[in-house]
Amino acid sequence: MSRLWNQTQHVRLSTLRRVALPILILFLVFNLIACATSFDKRGRYHKVRTGESIWRIAKAYRVSLQELAEFNNIFSPNDVKVGMRLYIPKREKRAAFKKLPFDGVSKGGRRRGKRPRRYRYASSKKIQTYRGKFIWPVNGRLSSRFGIRNGRRHDGIDITAKRGTPIKAASSGKIVFSGKMRGYGNLVLIRHKGDFFTAYAHNHRNKVRKGKMVKRGQVIASVGRTGRASGNHLHFEIRRGQTARNPLFFLPERAERKRSKAYARGN
């Protein structure tokens, strides 16, 4: 009887350890993560500490590795250093991205006659880049990157150039919008294969009409400062469906790549 009692107690203790230990570990991890979470004028961020990786941080905040990397202009896990601030994308039921006038998409954001598509980032543990899928639409200085700017999402990049500088199509596709939109000013929107879209905003003048097919590198507009713009520049976005992606992960690498590391650190 005594032997049976001891075996029963041993089983109970083993079960308790299997259940309680993982819970305790999770509790400690999330408490440690919470201690490293802060806020500044740009938003909520995590300050990287010794032994932490971008994979661990993404998992702790329940965001995808790719989303966290694009949001912070992190092209390689080696770019993450102790003391760096990684800004955390908001997890919302509804997309935080500003709606653009996509052809074939209703006001509610759904495709007419079709179920809405959902795009998920690759489940691999590798940060994905797609260099050369699109070309740089204008020659100029990269003045603002994708991510958080002045406490708000910035769904594209800004390229400073002189007024009238030609803007080229980043890839072949169909013009689905060419006109004015609040905030964006003169806007051109192109649909590409794979349900990708590129947006070109604040243009001085649009040079294409809706419905026209354009080739990669073809001039579609000129640089200006229409809409909500403080100076002459191109605001350029790449989206898949309604989801904004970081253009620097799709464009050929330039000298700005080196400066993006300092930007991600908050310097």
pLDDT digits over 189-243, tens only?
A: 999 999 999 999 999 999 999 999 999 999 999 999 999 998 999 999 999 998 9
> In total, how many domains does the chain have?
2
Examine residue 135 and state whether it is found in any structural domain, yes or no. Answer: no
- Residue 190 structural domain: 141-264
Output the domain CATH number for residue 35.
3.10.350.10
pLDDT digits over 246-255, tens only?
A: 999 999 997 5
Q: Please give the Cα distance from 255 to 233 (Å, whole number).
A: 19
pLDDT digits over 37-85, tens only?
A: 788 888 889 999 999 999 999 999 999 999 999 999 999 999 999 999 9
Examine residue 233 and state whether it is found in any structural domain, yes or no. Answer: yes
Secondary element (H or E) of residue 15? helix 2-35
Question: How much is the pLDDT for 15?
Answer: 57
Select from 62, 74, 61, 56 the least CA-distant residue to 127. 74
Of 54, 87, 120, the position where a domain reaches its end is: 87
- 95 CA to centre of own chain: 12
Q: How many CB atoms lie within 10 A of CB 78?
A: 9
Select from 90, 49, 146, 261 the least CA-distant residue to 57. 49
Examine residue 147 and state whether it is found in any structural domain, yes or no. Answer: yes
Select from 89, 199, 195 the least CA-distant residue to 147. 89
Is residue 220 a contact partner of residue 213, using CB atoms and an 8 Å limit? no
- Considering just the CA atoms, what is the radius of gyration of the chain in Å? 23
Residue 68: strand pairing partners: none
Query: Are residues 83 and 149 part of one domain?
Result: no
Is residue 177 a contact partner of residue 103, using CB atoms and an 8 Å limit? yes
Examine residue 257 and state whether it is found in any structural domain, yes or no. Answer: yes
Of 87, 104, 124, the position where a domain reaches its end is: 87
State the amino acid at position 12 in one-letter form. R
